[in-house]
Amino acid sequence: MMKFLIYFLYRPFFVIIKSLVPLFKSRFDEKTLAWFKLRDEENTISFSSTDNVFWFHASSGEIEYAKALIRELKKAQPQATVVVTYSSPSAIRLFENIKPLVNQFIPLPWDQPKPLVKLINQLNPKTVIFARTDLWPELIFQLKQKNIPTFVASYNPSLSNGNRFFIGTFLNHFAGIFCVHPTQESVLHSIVRKEVYVSSPGDTRFDQVFWRLAQPSKSPITFDFKYGVLGSTWPEDEKIILPVLPNVLEKGFKIFWCPHETNVSNIERIQIELLALKLNFILFSEILNGKPIEQAQIILVDKIGYLADLYRTAAWSFVGGSFKSKVHSVMEPLCCAIPVITGPMITNSPEALRYHQVIMNGIRVVQVVQNPSEFNQAVQVTQTMQLGDFKKMLIGHLEQNRYASAKIIKIILDTVQEKLNF
């Protein structure tokens, strides 16, 4: 079945799609064009030939699910050669804190036989580990042809009929699948061959977030005031928040507003919205350049890399994407043990769904709101709780999510060793 789909369906379809790209190039936005350009880059291997290569693959934000795995691998095998491939240009800005551990970052070529076989032969990996869900059929097929043990970590499938077919066809040939939740594990056991190792050790991003929070904060601000954080917002989220933003500010909070897009045009768009509401704001870049923060009601964050630090001492947080299509990661604010507010679109996030059901100190850990009034009310609720007690309770609960990465790496190393001994 796998060979049939690759040879007779996927390859011809993929060739047609790729051939159409030059014809419609003028209609694509800048991001999409950058994605296409990345596929065509020539890759030169920068390290000496080795038989100890561990290949990790992620899309963009999914690299956050691989970082803790890479750290655990280097603890267990300091001499291991680590290669990270990625399929989105936006991943590059997320590499900084693992650069010392990675021998080379390589953009993944087009999902076609010739460039992939060339890359596999160049790397000659012991194993390949996919992070989350960026799974490419041709790459999986070629790894199977080379008999290279392949795994996926922090797997969070939708388990729709279409995805079940994909799992049964392609992931059926993996050495191991590490999913997020025991319910997923149970379903996967019924889809894949019994030879495929399936378990649910948890989400590796928790390990990454806890590691990040153990590092010194990059923020230059002394937080001697109450504040909330609007994290990774899109215009759809902002339509809900803006009408009641003056009411939220009247509760005595400053607001750190971190839009998902920090390009100049988007920042200018939000500035216009704030000017229309006659709200006092300052750009985060101005604070970095020495401008005082005291008089500002809203700090518009026009720099990337600070959101996780801003969550640390916030009174509450809103996580965006949840009024657009799917919520961004709620792990950072959760691991900072602060109340989280989201919109209704959270089915993509097991953590949001799970902690929406958890009540601590009288409030839901993740509060889901549907409209401006409910958002305002959710912020109001955070004022009536004892934040210190809430933090202690939530931190204790979150401890159960740690150490998935160490468990996964041990299983992978044992599997690879067993294969070599065989």
Task: Express each pLDDT in 5-15 by its tens digit.
Answer: 888 899 999 88
pLDDT in tens, 156-181: 988 888 889 999 999 999 999 999 98
Note the pLDDT of residue 153: 98
Lowest mean pLDDT among 26-30, 78-82, 277-281: 26-30
- Cα-flanking dihedrals φ and ψ of residue 366, to 5°? -115, 115
Residue ranges in 324-385 assigned as alpha helix (H): 331-335, 350-356, 372-383
Q: What letter does residue 313 receive in the DSSP assignment?
A: T
CATH architecture for segment(s) 219-397: 3-Layer(aba) Sandwich (3.40)
For the chain, the average pLDDT equals: 92
- 3-class state of residue 9 by DSSP: helix
Distance CA 85, CA 108 (A): 6
**Close Cβ partners of 331 (under 8 Å, ≥ 6 residues apart):** 203, 205, 206, 209, 351
Show me where the domains of the chain are located.
35-211+403-421, 219-397
Asked whether residue 421 carries a pLDDT value surpassing 70, the answer given is: no
pLDDT level of residue 420 (50, 70, 90 thresholds)? low
Largest CA distance in the chain: 71
Tell me if 35-211+403-421 shares its fold with 219-397: yes
User: Considering the domain 35-211+403-421 in this protein, what is its CATH number?
Assistant: 3.40.50.11720
- 3-class state of residue 389 by DSSP: helix
Asked whether residue 422 carries a pLDDT value surpassing 60, the answer given is: no
pTM of the full structure: 0.89
